[in-house]
Amino acid sequence: MQALNFIKTLIDMEMKFKNELVIDNLSGSDLVCFSHLRWNFVYQRPQHLLSRFAKHCRVFFIEEPIFGSETERLEVNEKNNVWVVVPHFPHDLSHEIVLDKQKKMLAGFFEMMEITQFISWYYTPMALPFTEDLTPALTVYDCMDELSAFKFAPSILTHLEKELLNKADVVFTGGQSIYEAKKHLHKNIHAFPSSIDKEHFGQARNIKEDPADQASIPHPRFGFFGVLDERFDADMIREVAAARPNWQFVLIGPVVKIDPASLPQANNIHYLGGKSYDELPHYLAGWDIAMIPFAINESTKFISPTKTPEYLAAGKPVISTPIRDVVKPYGVENIVHIAHTAEAFIAHAEQELSQTNKKLWLRRVDNFLADISWDITWEKMAALLEKGLVGKQDEVTTKTVKAYV
């Protein structure tokens, strides 16, 4: 046992040394992120990753413009070393004028903040037209979704993604299926599926008190949190809720890009609106079963729902529609139920509700999640960035030496 502890100590020391090397090199650069998502909308992959980078370097999160302001302005808010930057423009500006103003605003902001050595991190190819003049030390494309398949996606997005893939030094994907679809498009592409903050969601295993707006809802409760949009399988929820009127369906999250009137309405369906990241474990704690009711369509073809490991960390059984990145690995490992139809959903739910001892299942869940965390994901990404930065520096040195030979 002492020998094993000694070996573990050596491994931990080696990992710490490697991480310190990565941090030392990254600390010399700022990270500038261009995103289609709002920092204060839903706390997800960008916030998890960039908050970790912000512990070692300045992070600038550049959002898409908001239109409707009487005068143009640049809104900047900083918290925990993350600067959230939002351009505001009047409604009546042409696309060309907006791009020109974004370029000028960005240049002025870079000068004001003395941003010189930086990494460009893209979540959306739509940012390329106003960032083409930037000269980053490294360009990263974190492709967390197939944005071109989403509702109201601009037709030019596919073309711009090709440009971004040509420009990027390293590409990350938000799941295995989207990696398989794009791995032939870049020589330095890596799959980083949804990860987990186990301690945060693990709180749900010990929380006993219900939030006020959930406390009066009877059991059994089936819960979902996330954005309610074109990916949400409203028909399945409508059918299951009608077939089992004594089951209660708790739906948490904002309604986006779809008509709220299209969502199923019934006495046993409860829409509680959006909740903060800190509140989620408190709602999860009071559910009997967690759901991933996503429709099977183009917009869900490559998604890797972060909520899957979050539900599991909370100790909740999960029923999901057959999303590829849920089926494999979670369905294959038999820790998440996969329901192709409303009838299958009901069958899985009845089986789960009849279970009296979940200790063996929880043990398998915890073993599966043992090596999954946003910290580990960040460390692996940071190491790849470090490798890329060193490679670019070596490339510049080689060119310089050749120029003087």
Q: Does one domain contain both 307 and 346?
A: yes
Residue 351: which pLDDT band, with cuts at 50, 70 and 90? very high
Cα of 84 vs its chain's centroid, Å: 17
Q: Which of 3-7, 159-163, 336-340 has the highest mean pLDDT?
A: 336-340
The packing angle between helices 374-404 and 45-53, to 10°, is 60
Q: How far apart are CA 251 and CA 313, in angstroms?
A: 19
Among the ranges given (8-17, 78-87, 113-122, 328-337), the one the predictor scored with the smallest mean pLDDT: 8-17
Please tell me the predicted confidence (pLDDT) of residue 22: 47
Q: How far apart are CA 81 and CA 85, in angstroms?
A: 13
What's the whole-number average pLDDT of the chain?
90
Residue 148: which pLDDT band, with cuts at 50, 70 and 90? confident
Q: Is the pLDDT of residue 146 over 50?
A: yes
Q: Does one domain contain both 164 and 230?
A: no
Q: What mean pLDDT do residues 254-273 have?
A: 95
Please tell me the predicted confidence (pLDDT) of residue 299: 87
Q: Is the pLDDT of residue 19 over 60?
A: no
Higher pLDDT among residues 19 and 189, named by residue: 189
Higher pLDDT among residues 328 and 154, named by residue: 328
Residue 23: which pLDDT band, with cuts at 50, 70 and 90? low
Q: What mean pLDDT do residues 20-46 have?
A: 82
Whether the CB-CB separation of 304 and 316 falls below 8 Å is answered with no
Q: Does one domain contain both 49 and 6?
A: yes
Q: How far apart are CA 335 and CA 361, in angstroms?
A: 7
Please tell me the predicted confidence (pLDDT) of residue 129: 95
6 half-sphere exposure, CB direction, 13 A CA radius: 3
C-alpha torsion 79→80→83→86, nearest 10? -40
Please tell me the predicted confidence (pLDDT) of residue 276: 95
Which CATH number does the domain housing residue 335 bear? Answer: 3.40.50.2000
Q: Does one domain contain both 167 and 230?
A: no
Q: Does one domain contain both 58 and 126?
A: yes
Q: Does one domain contain both 143 and 203?
A: no
Q: What mean pLDDT do residues 160-170 have?
A: 95
pLDDT tens-place string over residues 60-115: 999 999 999 888 999 999 999 999 999 999 998 999 999 999 999 999 999 999 99
| Count: domains in the chain | 2
Name the amino acid, one letter, at 236: M
Q: Which of 24-38, 62-76, 240-254 has the highest mean pLDDT?
A: 240-254
End-to-end Cα, the chain, rounded Å: 59
Query: Which token pair is 14?
Result: 């080696």
Residue 246: which pLDDT band, with cuts at 50, 70 and 90? very high
Q: Does one domain contain both 12 and 160?
A: yes
Q: Does one domain contain both 82 and 25?
A: yes
Please tell me the predicted confidence (pLDDT) of residue 70: 84
Q: Which of 270, 333, 283, 348 minimizes the C-alpha distance to 310?
A: 283
Q: Is the pLDDT of residue 405 over 70?
A: no
Please tell me the predicted confidence (pLDDT) of residue 118: 97
In this structure, what DSSP letter does residue 133 have? T
Please tell me the predicted confidence (pLDDT) of residue 6: 43
Q: What mean pLDDT do residues 309-332 have?
A: 97
Q: What mean pLDDT do residues 301-313 have?
A: 94
C-alpha torsion 104→108→109→112, nearest 10? 180
Q: Does one domain contain both 302 and 363?
A: yes
Query: Which token pair is 344?
Result: 């299958």
Q: How far apart are CA 207 and CA 202, in angstroms?
A: 9
Residue 298 CA: distances (Å) to CA of 145, 148, 184, 276, 302: 11, 9, 20, 28, 8
Whether the CB-CB separation of 304 and 194 falls below 8 Å is answered with yes
Q: Does one domain contain both 115 and 166?
A: yes
- Full residue range of the structural domain in which residue 172 is found: 2-195+374-404
Residue 234 CA: distances (Å) to CA of 114, 147, 349: 49, 21, 18
Higher pLDDT among residues 22 and 164, named by residue: 164
Q: What mean pLDDT do residues 305-332 have?
A: 96
Q: What mean pLDDT do residues 177-205 have?
A: 95
Among the ranges given (80-84, 149-153, 244-248), the one the predictor scored with the smallest mean pLDDT: 149-153
Q: What mean pLDDT do residues 275-299 have?
A: 96
Share of the chain above pLDDT 70, in %: 90
Q: Does one domain contain both 174 and 219?
A: no
Q: b/e per residue, 191-203, with b = 16+ CB within 10 A?
A: bbbbbbbbebbbb
Contacts of 181 (CB under 8 A, 6+ apart): 146, 302
Please tell me the predicted confidence (pLDDT) of residue 25: 61
Please tell me the predicted confidence (pLDDT) of residue 24: 55
Q: Is the pLDDT of residue 393 over 80?
A: no
CA dihedral over 170, 171, 175, 176, signed as positive or negative: negative
Q: Does one domain contain both 385 and 352?
A: no
